[in-house]
């Protein structure tokens, strides 16, 4: 069964609480989403493998540690996932970036696919799928299915807010995918929005409402 990591870092909790406020405008919302993504990236990469590497400092030779193992990729689910990409790349600048375009049909809440462009070697990479919101889980589950169909075997999912319904859906559909969650909220409302949530993440990041 997948591991579910709910972030307990005080900076992450403080920043999430800030962007929940309805009066926060797009400029601040967007930049703090980026900061949260960077902090979450730090937590979600704790178990990456290291190898010993011999280097020479200006003083002497030494054996230090560097990342080994699989190369990394970040795959945002469009649109709102875009808001997390720069924060991730600040921490893991060598990662390649793929894009999956999905929107949630407002009547059925089912995801509709409209774009998919991934690094050619993404099946050899450790892929971090990012989306600020895990509500019903339909979008993230569909995005991960698309990645698996392209042969990707090592996937982690990161979101800023999750509803228990979305976590359950991901655990059922993708028990092999570890979840990194900024804050776990109470439930979904009748429009399948997260409660208490922060509203529509894409609209708040891009100022479209
Ligand atoms: C939002 C959000 C997720 C999805 C979550 O995207 O960014 O992708 O809804 O809901 P789910 O778990 O029920 O699928 P939205 O469809 O609003 O598109 P956008 O990012 O373009 O605003
Ligand atoms: N998508 C969002 O942007 N917010 C929600 O609360 C649910 C889905």
Global pTM value: 0.96
ipTM value: 0.98
CB 135 within 8 A of CB 198: no
Q: What's the rounded mean pLDDT across residues 13-24?
A: 98
| 70: pLDDT strictly greater than 90 | no
DSSP three-state, residue 204? helix
Using one digit for the tens of pLDDT, what is the confidence trace for 83-129?
Answer: 999 999 999 999 999 999 998 888 898 999 999 999 999 999 999 99
Please provide the average confidence, as pLDDT, over all residues in the chain.
96
Q: Give the pLDDT confidence score for residue 123 in this predicted structure.
A: 96
| Residues 6 or more apart whose Cβ sits within 8 Å of residue 68 | 49, 50, 51
Supply the pLDDT for residue 1: 79
User: How far is the C-alpha of 19 from the C-alpha of 80, rounded, in Å?
Assistant: 14
Q: Give distance in angstroms: CA of 54 to centre of ligand 1.
A: 46
pLDDT > 70: what percent of the chain?
100
CB neighbours of residue 51 within 10 Å:
10
* Percent of the chain predicted with pLDDT > 90: 94
* For the CA of 135, the nearest ligand: 1
178 ligand 1 Cβ < 6 A: no
> Are the CB atoms for 80 and 202 separated by under 8 Å?
yes
């Amino acid at each position: 069964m997948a591991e579910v990591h709910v972030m307990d870092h005080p900076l992450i909790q403080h920043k999430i609480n800030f962007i929940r406020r309805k009066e926060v405008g797009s400029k601040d919302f967007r930049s703090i989403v980026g900061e949260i993504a960077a902090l979450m990236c730090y937590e979600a990469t704790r178990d990456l493998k290291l190898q010993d590497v011999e280097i020479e400092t200006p003083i002497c030779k030494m054996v230090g540690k560097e990342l080994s193992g699989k190369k990394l990729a970040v795959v945002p689910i469009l649109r709102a996932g875009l808001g997390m990409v720069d924060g991730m790349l600040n921490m893991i600048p060598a990662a390649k970036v793929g894009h999956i375009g999905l929107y949630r049909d407002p009547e059925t809440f089912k995801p509709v696919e409209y774009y998919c462009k991934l690094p050619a070697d993404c099946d050899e990479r450790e892929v971090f799928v990012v989306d600020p919101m895990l509500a019903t889980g339909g979008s993230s589950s569909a995005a991960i299915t698309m990645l698996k169909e392209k042969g990707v075997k090592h996937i982690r999912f990161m979101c800023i807010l999750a509803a228990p319904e979305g976590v359950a859906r991901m655990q059922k559909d993708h028990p092999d995918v570890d979840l990194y969650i900024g804050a776990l909220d109470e439930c979904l409302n009748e429009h399948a929005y997260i409660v208490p949530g922060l509203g529509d993440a894409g609209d708040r990041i891009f100022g479209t409402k």
